[in-house]
Structure 1
Amino acid sequence: MKTFRRPGVAVATMLVLVMVQAVADPTGLLALVGWSGAVPSLASGIWSFAPYLVFLPVLLAMVWWVALRAGGRFWTLVPGMVLAVVLAQSAACLVMTGDLGTAAWAGGYVTAKAVPAALIVSALTRWLGGRGERTRVDPAPWTPVLGRRSVWIPAIAFAGAAPLLVGSWWTGAAYAPGVPTFRPDQGVLPVVVTVLLLAGATALCLRWMRSRVAGALAGWLAAVVAASMVGVVQALVALVVDDGFAGDLWPLMVAYVAVADGLSFAACTGWIVGVVALVLERAPVRTPARTARAAVASALGLLLVAGLAVPQLIASTSAAASPDLAVPAGFLRAEGDVITDGDGDQVLLRGVNVNQLVDFYRPRADVDDTRPLTEDDFAGIAAQGFDVVRLNLSWSALEPSRGEFDAEYLGLIHDAVDWAAAHEVYIVLDMHQDSWWAGATPEGTACRPGTDPMWGYDGAPEWATVTDGAPRCQFLSRDISPASDRAFQNLYFDTDGVQSALVEAWGRLATEFRDDPTVAGYDLLNEPGFGEAAPVTTAYQLGRFYERAIGAIRDAGAPQIVFVEPTILWSGLGFDSGPSLGFSSDPNLVFSPHLYAESLTLDRDLGIPPIVGMARQFVLAQRVADAYGMPVWSGEYGYWGDPADVGERLGRYAALEDAHAYGGAYWVWKQACGDPQNGIGDTGNGLMVQDCATGGDAPPREDLLTVLSRAYPRSAPGLVTSLRAEGRAMELEGSAPERGCGLEVWVPGDDEPAVEVTGVSGLTLTRVDGGWSVTGCADGRYTVTTR
């Protein structure tokens, strides 16, 4: 009876904790197992049952085993409970995806839930489950390095296998150059250093753990603790090489991600330590020392293969993975890490978002939710020097009935593209959504404690919204709602063919514009939600959707750029893992995060220091884009609040945008008083302000336009190597490997600018609406200065 008391207490405590969290957190964001109110259904797929039929049984079974075998010590129970949660999450994700690598990596995403749960359950188990006998399982304090009970052989086997098993671990924005990781593509030295760190930490932890925990579990727990220790070392190195606490909390985020990666890796592969240690312990005493030496030599050989052979294998695989795509003359394209015109000129797409075709929820029937879109808008946009519009579209308006495009709405899109062409402005067609669809909380809905009734916003048609009965109530923000989370989950898993319908819609839309070079590209989905199972949804499934949509666009014969976004987490936190690396082999893709750091991110709402600072977000965006092999284009950015504060932040953003030679689209050109994002105040937000009292125009935001309309190169031969600008003053440096005549610089203002150049010939100044166009030819290194 005493044998079962401790595991019984542990299982009961964990079960009660799961139930309490499920009731307290309907979104599942903070709970081990969330219950949103959605009804699991076989029509949705096995994923809807995975939290209950896979996660929970695996969790409770592991908790029982750990409590039974790890003894009554608090500090042996804690890593065991963490192991139980992470392993259960990986098992559930494996059932959802059938992809072992993604499932194993996904376990780390519950670290913030696993650690508190482990501390609570371990404490109550220790208190209520009895002290137990503090016997030493293995009285030998130390053994020879090559002896039968050596801790080094299992440690080296575990660490040496890491580079071969790396999968999706240690990827993403968190890992700066110089941080040791197990990824062979980062070079031999970082791999060797990290393997040695893990081997040493594992040996140290195994020596301590095996005298307190019996059997293979001792090695598994040692691996969990050791891998988290390596994560701490990685975070400390990052603190030094990645600008430290440069006014933001990023180092803490790095520490969390590194430890989480280590924990999930150890949870899924740490059994290697336990099994090898157990085999060695039970091997006959007469086993010759040379057998142990051979084992060590084999492990070192495995490390050598991982460090030397795998990088070449990865390089050859990735090199063969990019097919050719014939992009006709006159169309923009992604080349390396920049957007070009195909004639050797880098193109900076700088402009605004236009939301005047969005099918918004209307908070008040008597107040318009959008302002009419006319050719005058494009004339005004061009007069500010902008050369691109991110045109926000609504799937609900485009395809109100399944399989049928609305001809009138499609005509509005064609009108916008034609007006853009007339004013030499590119268009990015953006399938926009905010909180998935326009439905608000139905009247009479009783939102659970911790959630509130909410407005609707915009996005998918009602026929493509599958919520399984989850309530439309928001938790913290509009993007955390049980109903919209479930709708996104159903999109990612293609319930009722919802994802397939959106893929088909993209194919049909691309068919309409495949021959129009005014369309710079297609933005597949605005700020995708995280659903209920990140990172299965936010990385693996998002990447699969993108791959399908890109395929539909290419099958339609459309050669334009496809813009791919990370999830809403990037806009809310300043970083995200994004779709899985290698999700597509298409060469004409652009990475398009929304650079809202220090603006509408969660930290600003909570009044805490920035999670990611403004300068850091550019570095992280480039780091992720480099991993994908894509250029960066910020699909949205913007600042609100006190005018002086807004001006200061926008000025810093502009300087960083120039320093990185990025393009982007400001949010937003016009915002109607009845737009649910506007909130119905005295004015409609946007650069072109609406007077809500009269419905007419108020004075535009000249303070913002002064910054946004500054001088910049719309196109530059070769590459832009340095750019600084303020108002009419600009200093541009570039490098053209061969003579090119695509130089075009926008300079605002009525007076003719003073222009100084080196390496530029055929200089021409032309008066255009709102300013001047400076054109010419360049060869080799060149400079352009305007005043």
Structure 2
Amino acid sequence: MNRELLMRRSTVATVALALVIGLGAALDPVGLITVVGWSGARIWPVEGVWQGAPFLLLLPIALVGTWWTVHVFDDGRRRFAPAFAGTLIALLIGKFVTALVSVGELRTAAWSVGYSVGKAAVAAVVVGAVVVAVCRRDRIGAPVEEAPYRVRPDWLGSGLFAVIAVPLAGLWWTGATYSSAMPAPNPARGWWAVVFGVGVLWAGTAAAGWWMRRGAAETRQSGSGRAGSDQAPQQRFLIGWYAAIGGGAVLGLCATVVGLFAGDGFGGAGAGSDLWPVLSGYIRIADGIAYGACLGWVAGLAALLPAPLRGHRADEAGAGVITAGESVLALIAVIAVGVVVPTAVHSAPHRSADGPPATATPVTAVDDHSLLPLRVRDGSIADTADREVLLRGVNVNQLVDFYAARPNVPATRPLTDADFAAISDLGFTVVRLNLSWSALEPERGRLDPQYLGRIRTSVDQAAAHGVYTVLDMHQDGWWNGAASPGTRCRPGTSPMWGFDGAPGWATITDGAPRCEFNGRDMSPAGDRAFNHFWYNSDGIRDALAHTWGLLAHEFADEPAVAGFDLLNEPGFGESAPLTSSLLLGRFYASAIREIRAAGADQIVFVEPSILWSGLAFDGGPSPDFTDDANIVFSPHLYAQSITMDASLGIGPLVSIERGFRLADRVAAEYGAPVWSGEYGYWGDTAEDMLQRFAREQDRRHQGGAYWVWKQACGDPQNGIGPIGDALMPQDCRTGGDAPPKSALLKILTRAYPQAAPGTITSLHADGADMELTGRAGPGTCRIRVWIPGTATPTIQSSGLSDQRLTAHGTGTLLTGCVRGDYRITTAG
């Protein structure tokens, strides 16, 4: 091929990419579906590297990288493949460098590249198509007289690339997407997954390289490419790198196939089917491609070694034969895997599934109705009497500082002692009390004493009725400001109401418009405000951590405070997954340090980002974000409810049943129990959906807080409708109470053990009918079981003594003493 033709194709590809990026930025203000989004925020002043990195680093690397790779790899015959591959790898490397400079953390920056694979692939397809269209009349030279060129797999480069995955796995092949049965060369997944993963990655990379070099050989013999018996060094390097990307994709595909038969298939969703096998397959392939993009240069460099070491010779007789040297190399690699894998598995960061014991010496003499301090113990929530405690209850949003769209319609309903009495009468034992940072700390560094007093009153009132409180720093859309009059929004977005959250002094939007795309959580202004928070502009991330220390100090000695939920549904800002993993973890770690320094040792509830609520899964902070073992993983299990699939009108991405399974996987990495801080909102199918949810909740002996107890007609989340949509609705015409949602309450208030000695081993309940088994531990023998209904229940048991039935609200409390293995059956 002549230089003019190579220059032409490289230039066409580069210009096409520049146009694709520019058009995407103009059309996508939040960067959700394009390589780079443009929020419309001010460029100056610059608060951090993250603001300029996409334009000062990503764009030059992507454009120059595309030009160079197409120029080097283009062989004349194939126009689409060089343009596609060159654009893809250039964009991914640009994303990696941008992430690395923004956060300064190598493993997260490399892992984060997987989130951009889909967007980069779309851009690469467009660039490749443009090159094909513009350069379709390029002439191809005459055939070159060469001896037949036979190639063999590059076992050395492929093996080296595969083996180094074990010590360098970092965050790859972790999270809800992976089970222990899948090939994944990450020590956290276990030795079998590592060995299986290394083997697949090795073979996949070798096969991809063989296929690419074979195509290049055929091209030369057709006269399309450069003459000579071998590629130029630059071509060999790129082929090795591209092969690594291909090997990573093969690994992801293989893991997906295994998953189809190991619980992640279409038949593993429980009731009904979902799209998880497709979605998770894409994620696994993207992970593999990201690993290949970031470390495939190792295979590329190995391709520059002398031909005998590369397993690549021109003579036909040697083709297809593994040489003695290669056999030795393969043996060395196998031995290396045998040494590295066990060592890496043994030394991999690991959070013990066993948190600190509820107390050094469990309390044995307790009042049946007292609220004891709670701790994480053996993967469950327990009290200081060594009883497993199922915190089941509701969200209470009546202290939230909501935006009021209509000044004459209150945004919240009053919160009184009667609310907590009614909550207790229904058998609930916890409220997730939603708080607003804007009301708690309207002036920086000073908690508002009046608002703090309202929180204290609520905690005391709940405790008086035997109800724990989880203090939740609530936010929706970052703050309660609305779009200013005259705000101009780009096509596809619209001016939005405010919601709730941060004070004005902690809200930095750089003038980005308060417009929403597919809901409040994708907004240029909100995303920019969240990015400033995650990158700690003006110290606002540290400020919220410090605020948690001040608040925790107020309740450090209050056993009725079950714990602290650090931030409701954290937004991903403009830089996911850096924000929703590494920086979220940094905030959590600093807040936990402040809480413990304040003398508060209650449970800390940590949530994944809003992506879990929108997709029914997410990554979250790395498992080693804190060494504090008294944490609970608290995703909002909204599968088949308010997740994005519902608004897009497609089938469920994740079923209710699978949503529990994915939460369990992530919690296991943290060594923490699962407690769903929010669930509900199923619309017309709420009863059927809630029944399915309840079965899974019982099967796993889990608690959770339903959204929501009461919701005012002026609540921005309610919109404008005939009722304030909640368990206890408000009639928007009269302002009084509407009939409660009795059908849902019947399911929510089913029988369950509120506090069970030792460990619960099984639980099944339907209304007042319940089957419970457990094994008592060294603490108290006193058990407390809630049974709904006014009729006196029938009790059958073994291992239960001193049985007592006490009327309580709308049901009955069963108390007694259990020892050893016990079984309790109730019937209404």
Q: Same fold, TM exceeding 0.5?
A: yes
Paired AA for residue 245 in structure 2: V
CA contact (8 A) 1:325 1:588 kept: no
Q: Could you tell me which of 117, 127, 130 is aligned with 1:121?
A: 127
Paired AA for residue 278 in structure 1: L
Paired AA for residue 258 in structure 1: R
Secondary structure of the residue that 1:241 maps to in structure 2? Answer: coil
71-80 or 402-411, larger mean C-alpha shift: 71-80
- With structure 1 as the length reference, what TM-score do the two structures score? 0.95
Q: Could you tell me which of 41, 49, 73 is aligned with 1:38?
A: 41
1:228 paired residue number: 249
Q: Alpha-carbon deviation of 1:189?
A: 2.3
Secondary structure of the residue that 2:407 maps to in structure 1? Answer: coil
1:681 paired residue number: 721
Q: Alpha-carbon deviation of 1:588?
A: 0.3
Paired AA for residue 83 in structure 1: I
CA distance in 2: counterparts of 1:605 and 1:320, whole angstroms: 37
CA contact (8 A) 2:405 2:714 kept: yes
What is the aligned residue count?
A: 778
2:261 paired residue number: 240
CA contact (8 A) 2:70 2:82 kept: no
Paired AA for residue 416 in structure 1: S
2:676 paired residue number: 634
Is it true that 1:429 corresponds to 2:450 in the alignment?
Answer: no
- Structure 1 residues 319 and 710: alpha-carbon distance in aligned structure 2, compared to 1, 3 A threshold: closer
1:54 paired residue number: 57
2:781 paired residue number: 741
1:205-284 to structure 2, matched below 5 A, reads 205-211=208-214, 212=216, 214-245=235-266, 246=269, 247-281=273-307
CA distance in 1: counterparts of 2:357 and 2:45, whole angstroms: 41
1:590-629 to structure 2, matched below 5 A, reads 590-629=632-671
Question: Which of structure 1's runs of 4+ aligned residues deviate more than 6 A?
Answer: 134-140, 282-285, 319-329
Is it true that 1:581 corresponds to 2:581 in the alignment?
Answer: no
Aligned-residue sequence identity (percent) comes to 49
CA RMSD of aligned residues (A): 2.3
Q: Alpha-carbon deviation of 1:222?
A: 1.0
2:736 paired residue number: 696
1:347 paired residue number: 389
Secondary structure of the residue that 1:635 maps to in structure 2? Answer: coil
Q: Could you tell me which of 779, 784, 787 is aligned with 2:824?
A: 784
Q: Could you tell me which of 198, 201, 208 is aligned with 2:204?
A: 201
Is it true that 1:96 corresponds to 2:102 in the alignment?
Answer: yes
Is it true that 1:761 corresponds to 2:801 in the alignment?
Answer: yes
Secondary structure of the residue that 1:60 maps to in structure 2? Answer: helix
2:338 paired residue number: 304
Is it true that 1:21 corresponds to 2:24 in the alignment?
Answer: yes
1:649 paired residue number: 689
Q: Could you tell me which of 324, 347, 350 is aligned with 1:313?
A: 347
Paired AA for residue 733 in structure 1: T
Q: Could you tell me which of 403, 410, 417 is aligned with 1:368?
A: 410
CA distance in 1: counterparts of 2:466 and 2:254, whole angstroms: 52
Secondary structure of the residue that 1:13 maps to in structure 2? Answer: helix
2:316 paired residue number: none
Q: Alpha-carbon deviation of 1:290?
A: 6.2
CA distance in 2: counterparts of 1:132 and 1:481, whole angstroms: 49
1:355-394 to structure 2, matched below 5 A, reads 355-394=397-436
Q: Alpha-carbon deviation of 1:3?
A: 3.1
Paired AA for residue 398 in structure 1: L
CA distance in 1: counterparts of 2:105 and 2:358, whole angstroms: 29
CA distance in 2: counterparts of 1:342 and 1:306, whole angstroms: 42
Gaps of 5+ in 2: 217-230, 314-321, 364-371
CA distance in 2: counterparts of 1:188 and 1:368, whole angstroms: 58
Q: Alpha-carbon deviation of 1:291?
A: 5.4
Paired AA for residue 44 in structure 1: E
Paired AA for residue 215 in structure 1: R
- Structure 1 residues 325 and 630: alpha-carbon distance in aligned structure 2, compared to 1, 3 A threshold: same
CA contact (8 A) 2:151 2:213 kept: no
Secondary structure of the residue that 1:490 maps to in structure 2? Answer: helix
Instruction: Note the alpha carbon deviations across 1:342-385, whole angstroms, 9 max, x for none.
Output: 22210000000000000000110100000011111100100000
CA contact (8 A) 2:355 2:378 kept: no
Secondary structure of the residue that 2:208 maps to in structure 1? Answer: helix
CA distance in 2: counterparts of 1:64 and 1:517, whole angstroms: 64
CA contact (8 A) 1:79 1:225 kept: no
Is it true that 1:332 corresponds to 2:335 in the alignment?
Answer: no
Instruction: Note the alpha carbon deviations across 1:272-315, whole angstroms, 9 max, x for none.
Output: 11101112339899xx9765555434322322222221111126
CA distance in 2: counterparts of 1:671 and 1:608, whole angstroms: 29
CA distance in 2: counterparts of 1:109 and 1:221, whole angstroms: 19
Q: Alpha-carbon deviation of 1:751?
A: 2.1
CA contact (8 A) 1:38 1:468 kept: yes
1:173 paired residue number: 176
Q: Alpha-carbon deviation of 1:325?
A: 9.9
Instruction: Note the alpha carbon deviations across 1:310-338, whole angstroms, 9 max, x for none.
Output: 111126x6569989997997310111210
2:72 paired residue number: 69
432-441 or 775-784, larger mean C-alpha shift: 775-784
CA contact (8 A) 1:739 1:777 kept: no
Is it true that 1:707 corresponds to 2:747 in the alignment?
Answer: yes
Secondary structure of the residue that 1:636 maps to in structure 2? Answer: coil
731-740 or 168-177, larger mean C-alpha shift: 731-740
CA distance in 1: counterparts of 2:147 and 2:806, whole angstroms: 87
- Structure 1 residues 327 and 13: alpha-carbon distance in aligned structure 2, compared to 1, 3 A threshold: farther
CA contact (8 A) 1:388 1:665 kept: yes
Q: Could you tell me which of 191, 203, 227 is aligned with 1:188?
A: 191
CA distance in 2: counterparts of 1:544 and 1:502, whole angstroms: 12
Gaps of 5+ in 1: 145-149
Instruction: Note the alpha carbon deviations across 1:220-252, whole angstroms, 9 max, x for none.
Output: 011111211221111111111125113000001
CA contact (8 A) 2:569 2:608 kept: yes
CA distance in 1: counterparts of 2:37 and 2:587, whole angstroms: 25
Q: Alpha-carbon deviation of 1:526?
A: 0.2
2:88 paired residue number: 82
CA contact (8 A) 1:437 1:459 kept: yes
Paired AA for residue 274 in structure 1: G
Q: Could you tell me which of 498, 501, 504 is aligned with 1:462?
A: 504
Secondary structure of the residue that 1:210 maps to in structure 2? Answer: helix
527-536 or 776-785, larger mean C-alpha shift: 776-785
Q: Alpha-carbon deviation of 1:139?
A: 7.2
2:494 paired residue number: 452
CA contact (8 A) 1:670 1:689 kept: yes
Secondary structure of the residue that 1:756 maps to in structure 2? Answer: strand
616-625 or 73-82, larger mean C-alpha shift: 73-82
CA contact (8 A) 1:161 1:302 kept: no
Secondary structure of the residue that 2:306 maps to in structure 1? Answer: helix
1:147 paired residue number: none
Secondary structure of the residue that 1:392 maps to in structure 2? Answer: strand
CA contact (8 A) 2:632 2:673 kept: yes
1:561-576 to structure 2, matched below 5 A, reads 561-576=603-618
CA contact (8 A) 1:739 1:778 kept: no
Secondary structure of the residue that 1:634 maps to in structure 2? Answer: coil
Secondary structure of the residue that 2:450 maps to in structure 1? Answer: helix
Q: Alpha-carbon deviation of 1:188?
A: 2.3
